């Protein structure tokens, strides 16, 4: 039976695996992206086996030579992947054995596919996290550049999607820089729990060979080793934690996407997005659609779905390893790909944003954005805040009826709402005066925005 010959566990079975089951259980079509880290882990394992006297020097040399040839085949696209061999690990091991004979068969001494795959995923994810943190930083730089260029550009700040108070466009961009800073911190923190070596746990109980797990960890650049063999082979917390951080990052970008979409609409007209990030309509020749931000909103649901899928995958699994865990890779890989592509395109897209300051400033006037400033002005004159709030509310109602902004009302008109109002109120009622007055850490005053830009440039240097 050729199928039995191909299976490492053939001695236990008396009939071949059906073609349908073979296709259903195979993972090589998607886990072959871990080929290079699988080779990396195997070489470290073989080096450790040689160090402790389990593997001869000749066998180690043969394994190193064979793996180098296999790595070349994989990189140049000539390696032949076989569904019959189920996964990336068995494909590489079989090719190695074909090349170097019995030395290839000795490579698996003291390990199981259970701890092997757990090691591969951690090696793969460690590299992915490093790349993603770099992409987050690049997007932050794009946003900091925008914030620097528009540290004084007036923008209506919204609550409940209603004009609330003036802010600057730079201050608004820096809000997302802060969010992304927390995202990078979460990935960096999650990496600490990714970077522990499970290899040596074997199937679930450890191994009888005199292995040196700490040495293997040092060879692979891990910070340490996992401490319980049962947990080591069945743990996917690190994958869930990464996907959770990715979902939160995508949520932040989805929020920014929603704002870009609204701001690009003629109803707002605050910005324009470069043509290379937009598409037109098959029927309406005038259309310019913000497809990239819209897709980011949609792909956020995709990453959220991966998180829920991984949580559901693990929720009922008894210790230790179960075949269910094969389903951890596709949502994890898809999350890495989706987030990486999103960050990469977003960093470029934000450099292609055209800001329209006049439209923003006109919008500030439409919502009585300096009403709170007028109330604060009255409080500083000695009026209790609740009384000031009431006086300004009446003034807003009056201005609305007159179809004028508060700054367009005459002093004599404003005095009808409080005799405390004097000629010095004019500066308070301008958007620029409102911004300048909020001169404290975290405030929207242009001087504070520039200070935050300098702070972030130093952090991102």
Q: How far is CA 341 from the centre of its chain?
A: 10
Residues in the chain: 461
Find, among 140, 139, 180, 171, the residue nearest to 360 by Cα: 171
Identify the CA nearest to 126 among candidates 54, 53, 41.
41
Positions annotated as catalytic residues are 160, 281
């Amino acid at each position: 039976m050729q199928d039995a010959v191909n299976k490492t566990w053939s001695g236990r079975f008396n009939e071949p695996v059906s073609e349908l089951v073979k296709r259903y259980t195979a993972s090589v079509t998607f886990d072959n992206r871990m080929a290079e880290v699988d080779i990396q882990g195997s070489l470290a394992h073989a080096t450790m086996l040689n160090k402790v006297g389990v593997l001869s020097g000749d066998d180690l040399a043969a394994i190193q030579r064979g793996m180098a040839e296999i790595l070349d085949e994989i990189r140049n696209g000539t390696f032949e992947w076989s569904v019959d061999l189920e996964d990336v690990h068995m494909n590489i091991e079989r090719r190695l054995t074909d090349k170097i004979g019995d030395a290839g068969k000795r490579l698996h001494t003291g390990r199981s596919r259970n701890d092997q795959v757990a090691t591969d995923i951690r090696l793969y994810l460690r590299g992915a996290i490093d790349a993603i943190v770099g992409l987050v930083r690049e997007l932050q730089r794009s946003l900091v550049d925008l914030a620097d260029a528009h540290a004084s550009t007036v923008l209506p700040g919204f609550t409940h999607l209603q004009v609330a108070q003036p802010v600057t466009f730079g201050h608004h961009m820096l809000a997302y820089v802060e969010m992304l800073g927390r995202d990078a911190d979460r990935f960096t923190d999650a990496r600490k729990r990714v970077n522990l070596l499970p290899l040596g746990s074997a199937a679930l109980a450890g191994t009888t060979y005199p292995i040196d797990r700490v040495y293997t960890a040092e060879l692979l650049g891990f910070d340490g080793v996992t401490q319980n063999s049962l947990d080591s082979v069945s743990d996917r917390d690190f994958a869930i934690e990464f996907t959770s951080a990715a979902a939160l990052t995508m949520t932040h970008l989805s929020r920014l996407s929603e704002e870009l979409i609204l701001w690009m609409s003629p109803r707002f007209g605050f910005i324009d997005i470069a043509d290379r990030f937009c598409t037109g309509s098959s029927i309406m020749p005038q259309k310019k659609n913000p497809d990239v931000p819209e897709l980011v909103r949609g792909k956020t649901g995709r990453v959220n779905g991966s998180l829920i899928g991984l949580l559901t995958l693990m929720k009922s699994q008894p210790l230790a390893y179960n075949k269910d865990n094969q389903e951890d890779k596709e949502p994890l890989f898809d999350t890495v790909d989706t987030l990486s592509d999103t960050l990469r395109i977003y960093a470029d897209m934000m450099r292609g944003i055209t800001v329209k300051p006049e439209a923003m400033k006109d919008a500030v006037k439409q919502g009585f954005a300096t009403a709170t400033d007028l109330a604060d002005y009255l409080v500083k004159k000695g009026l209790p805040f609740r009384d000031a709030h009431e006086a300004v509310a009446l003034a807003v109602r009056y201005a609305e009826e007159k179809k004028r902004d508060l700054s367009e009302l005459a002093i004599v008109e404003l005095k009808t709402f409080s005799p405390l109002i004097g000629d010095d109120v004019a500066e308070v009622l301008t958007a620029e005066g409102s911004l300048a007055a909020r001169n404290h850490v975290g405030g929207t005053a242009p001087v504070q925005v520039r200070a935050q830009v300098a702070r972030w440039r130093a952090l991102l240097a």
